[in-house]
Structure 1
Amino acid sequence: MSEAESNNTTTYNERLILFVLATVQFITIVDFMIVMPLGPQLMRVLQIDPSAFGLIVSSYTFAAGLAGLVASATVDRFSRKSAFLVLYAGFILGTLLCGLAPNYVTLVLARVLTGAFGGILGGISMAIIGDVFPDSRRGRATGAMMTGFAIASVAGVPLGLVIGNHFGWNMTFIALALAGLPVLFVAAYSLPSLDAHFGEARVHPLESLRRTFTVPNHLNAFALIIALTCSGFLIFPYISAYFVGNIGMSEQQLPWVYIAGGGLTFVASPIIGRWADRAGKLLVFRVIAPLSAALMFAITHLYEGGIVLAIAVFGALMVCNVGRMIPAMAMITASVAPRHRGSFLSANSSVQHIFGGVGAYVGGLFVTQAGEGAALEGFGTVGWIAAVVGMSSLWLAGRLRSGEQPETVSATELSLPAAAEAAYDPGEPMIAFVDGAAEVGDVRLQSFERDLHHESVDHLPELNSTHAVRPQVRRDAID
C-alpha cells in the first residue's frame, strides 16, 4: 500500500496535530525574530558592539545551515515523530539556555545550539503534513500551520519585546521556553509514528549532494537565493538599534514598528501572489526588486526625529521584501526537476541559513557605535551594499531556466510561506507549501502510463511518437 493510500485509511487527530505544528512554528519564529529587535538592549547590557551583536544573529543561522546539510543525509532514517520530538526538545533547551546565559560567549553558544535544532524543525513539520494529510487537503493543512507565523509576526514579537523591556532580555527567552515546554508533551501524545518512508529506496547522501550542487540551473537558483537573503540580512538585524540610536525612537515604541510591518505584509502577500500569477513571475519580480533596493537605501539614510516616516518606510520595505520573494520562490520552484526537489530543498534551506548569517555578520563589520545609546555609524554604507546586492538579483533571476512543465507553481499558493521566508526566517522548504507539488512529476507519469495501458494496440505507434518521447525530453531538459 502506498503512503497516500495509507493516509486515507489511517485515522489521526488532525486538528490536534495542526495545533502542535502551528504552536511550534510560532515559538520557533518568535525565538529567531526576537533577537533583532532586542538588539539595542543586548548591546547595552552585554556591552558589545554591532559586529559582536551580528555574531549573535548569524550564529543561529550558521548552525541551522550546517545542521540542515547533516539532516538531509540522516533525518529520513528515523520516524517523523522521533525526529520531531528530539529536535524540538533540543530547541527548547537551547532557548532556555539563552535566557540563562550570563554573558556574551555563553549566549552565542546557546544560539548555536538553538539554531542546530530549530533550523530543521520547519522541514520536519512539513514532512509530517505530507505524511498525515492527503494531497486534496494538504494545502489547507499547510495554511492552518502557517498561522503560527502570522501570530508570531503581529503578536509574538511585540509581546516578547514588552517582556524584554520590562523584565530584561533574559526573561523573553525564559518565558518562550516555558510556554513551549507543555507543547512537547502534547506532541508526544498526539503525533503518530509516521515511519512509512523507511521502505523507500535511498540514494547515498554524498551522491545526492553531488547531484544537487552540480546541476547548472540549481546553481543559478542558489545564486538568486543568496542575493535575496544577504541583501535583507545586511540591514534587518540592525534596524532596531538604528531606530533607537539614530532616529530617536524609544525601545518601548519598537513593538509598533513590527506590528505595522507584520500587518502590512500579510495584507499584501496574497495580493502580490495573485498579481504574479496573472502578469508573470519574472515581470513582477523585476518591478518590485528595484523598489526593495531603493527602500533598503532609504531606510539607512533617514533623518533624526522622523519616527512616523521610519515606521512607514519599514512597512513598505517589508512589503517589497516579501513582494520580491513570492515570484522568486515560484520561479525557483518551477526551475527544479520534480524528482530532484527533495535534495535540492534540503540544500536550499542550508544555503539560505548560512548566507543569512554571512549577511548579518558582514553588516556588523561596517557598523560602529561610539558608546551606549550612541548613533550607529556606517549604516548608510551597509544600505548601499544591500541595495547593490539586491539589484544584482534582477540579472540572476533572468538566468533561471523554466522547466516548461504543464503544471506550474502558483505564486498565490506561495504568498504566505514566502512572507515567512522574506520577513526573517530563511530556510523553510518552500515547495512543500505547494499542495502536492512534490509529486507532480510522478502523478503526471502515472497518468500517462494508465492512458497508454488502456489504448488499443493500433494506437501505440502514434502514442509513442506524440506522447511517450516528449514528456521524457521535457523532464531531462530541466535537470
Structure 2
Amino acid sequence: MPLALLALAIGAFGIGTTEFVIMGLLPQVGGDLGVSVPTAGFLVTGYALGVTIGAPIMTVLGTRISRKNMLMLLMGLFILGNLISAVAPVFAVMLIGRVVASLAHGAFFGIGSVVAAELVAPEKKAGAISMMFTGLTVANVVGVPLGTFVGQHAGWRVTFLIVAALGVLGLVGVAKLVPDVPKPAGVQLRHEVAAFKDTQVILAMAMTVLGFGGVFAATTYIAPMMTGVAGFAESSVTWLMVVFGLGMVTGNLVGGRFADRKLMPLLYTALGGLALVLLLFAFLASGKAASVVAIFLIGALGFATVPPLQKRVLDHAHGAPTLASAANIGAFNLGNALSAWLGGLVISAGLGYAAPNAVGAVLAAAALALAALSHRLERRRSRTATAPGPVAAPDQDAAPAAAGAVRS
C-alpha cells in the first residue's frame, strides 16, 4: 500500500479520537466550565450535526482547488478547532471549537476516500479505503482510552492539545506523502451534484444511515446499559469500549478485504448479522459474557459495511464522486443522531436501557431490505443494458424488388 495511505490514516486517527474522547470527559468538562453533564452533552450533538452539515458544504467550497490542498486546509481547520476547545474559557467557546473541528471531519473522510481509491489499482479500491478508515477504528482502541486517561489525570485541556498535535502530524504527512493529483478535467460542481440523481447512490447513503443507526442505538447508551442491566462496574465501561473498538478494527479490515470481490454478499452478511445480534442483545444484555461478545460483534459487523458502502457510492457517482463520498460520511453521523434520539424515546417510555438494542435491530433490518432492493435494481439495469435489441423485420417491398432484379 502507498505511504500516502498512512498519512490519511494518521489524520483519521486524530479525527476519530476527538470525535469520541469527549464522551468520557463530559463530567470533567462540565464541572470545569460550570454546566451540567446533560448540557455538556451538546458537545457531542453539536459535533455530529457539524459533520452532517459541514461535509457537503466544505466539499463544495473545495471544488476549485486540488484534493491534496483541500485535505491540508481541512487538517488546518481541525487543528484550529481543537486548539479553541483546549483554551476555551466558557462553554460557548468550547462548543464553537467542537463545531469548527467537526466541519473538517466529513469532507476529510469523503475526499480522503476518493484520493485513497485513486492511489491503487481498481480491484484494490475498497482495501485502500479500509486502510484510511483503520485510523478511525484504531482511535477507539488506543486514542480514546488514552485521551480519557490523560484528561482524567492531567486535565481535559491537555487531551485536546494532544489531539491538535496529532492534527499537525497528519497535516505534515499529507503535505509530504500525498501526491498532488489534479482533479479530473471538466468535472464541475454540477457534475458532483448530478451524482445524487443515481438511485444507487441514494440507496447506499440510506443503508449507511440505517446500518449505523443500528450500531449507535446500542453504543450510545452502553454505559447505563452495562452498569444498570449487565451489572458491570463503572470502571469497566472503558475496557468495554476497547472491546467495541477492537470489533471496529476487525470489521473494517474484513470489509476492506472482501468488498472488492464480494461486495453485495458482504453487505447481506454484515447487515443481517448486525440485525440478529442486536435483537438477541435486547434480551441477553443482563449477561456479562453475552454482553462482551455482542459489543464486539456490533462493532465488527457495523464497520464491515464501511468499505463496501463507501466504494458503492464511489462506483455509482459517475466520475464526480467527491461530494457524494463526503455526504455519505455525513450519513454515518446522521445515523448516530437518529439512533440516539430513537433510543432515548424508548428509554423515556419506560422500556429500559436494553430497549435501544431492539431499535437498532429494526434499523439494521431496514438497511438489509434496502440492500436487497439495491441489488435487485442493479441486476435489472444490467439485464436491460445487455439485452439484445429487437431484430428488424424483413422489408416486404424490398424482397420482391430484389427477386425481380435477379430475374432480369
So what's the TM-score if we normalise by structure 2? 0.74
> Is the CA contact 1:57–1:357 (under 8 Å) kept in the aligned structure 2?
no
Structure 2 CA distance for partners of 1:243 and 1:97, relative to 1, 3 Å: farther
Q: Quick one: distance in 2 between partners of 1:225 and 1:64?
A: 15
> Is the CA contact 1:297–1:383 (under 8 Å) kept in the aligned structure 2?
yes
Give the aligned partner of residue 227 of structure 1: 210
Give the aligned partner of residue 57 of structure 1: 44
> Is the CA contact 1:228–1:393 (under 8 Å) kept in the aligned structure 2?
yes
Give the aligned partner of residue 257 of structure 1: 240
Give the aligned partner of residue 110 of structure 2: 123
> Is the CA contact 2:274–2:298 (under 8 Å) kept in the aligned structure 1?
yes
Q: CA deviation digits over 1:129-166, x for unaligned, max 9?
A: 466x4648975766654553453233222212222332
Give the aligned residue type for 1:359. S
Q: Which of 185, 195, 204 is matched with 1:200 structurally? A: 185
> Is the CA contact 2:52–2:106 (under 8 Å) kept in the aligned structure 1?
yes
Q: Which of 389, 413, 418 is matched with 2:363 structurally? A: 389
> Is the CA contact 2:7–2:178 (under 8 Å) kept in the aligned structure 1?
no
**Structure showing greater Rg:** 2
Q: Which of 284, 288, 296 is matched with 2:278 structurally? A: 296
Q: Quick one: distance in 2 between partners of 1:218 and 1:136?
A: 19
> Is the CA contact 2:75–2:167 (under 8 Å) kept in the aligned structure 1?
no
Structure 2 CA distance for partners of 1:108 and 1:366, relative to 1, 3 Å: farther
Name structure 2 gaps, 5 residues minimum: 390-408
Q: Deviation at 1:127?
A: 4.6
Q: Secondary structure at the match of 2:180?
A: coil
RMSD: 4.2
Give the aligned residue type for 1:317. I
> Is the CA contact 1:37–1:237 (under 8 Å) kept in the aligned structure 2?
no
Give the aligned residue type for 2:333. H
> Is the CA contact 1:157–1:255 (under 8 Å) kept in the aligned structure 2?
no
Give the aligned partner of residue 141 of structure 2: 154
Q: Which of 328, 331, 341 is matched with 1:351 structurally? A: 331
Q: CA deviation digits over 1:182-205, x for unaligned, max 9?
A: 5545655x25782633x7213344
Give the aligned residue type for 2:95. V
Q: Identify which range, 224-233 or 109-118, moves more after superposition.
A: 224-233
Q: Quick one: distance in 2 between partners of 1:293 and 1:158?
A: 28
> Is the CA contact 1:297–1:380 (under 8 Å) kept in the aligned structure 2?
no
Q: CA deviation digits over 1:198-236, x for unaligned, max 9?
A: x7213344x642x33444443333332221132323332
Q: Quick one: distance in 1 between partners of 2:122 and 2:309?
A: 26
> Is the CA contact 1:165–1:252 (under 8 Å) kept in the aligned structure 2?
no
Give the aligned partner of residue 462 of structure 1: none
Q: After the TM superposition, which residues 250-329 of structure 1 pair with which residues of structure 2 at under 5 Å, given as runs?
A: 250-267=233-250, 282=264, 285-299=267-281, 307-323=288-304
Q: Deviation at 1:32?
A: 1.5
Q: CA deviation digits over 1:102-149, x for unaligned, max 9?
A: 554443332211111232222333454466x46489757666545534
Give the aligned partner of residue 443 of structure 1: none
Q: Quick one: distance in 1 between partners of 2:263 and 2:123?
A: 26
Q: Quick one: distance in 2 between partners of 1:42 and 1:299?
A: 32
> Is the CA contact 1:231–1:359 (under 8 Å) kept in the aligned structure 2?
yes
Identity %: 22
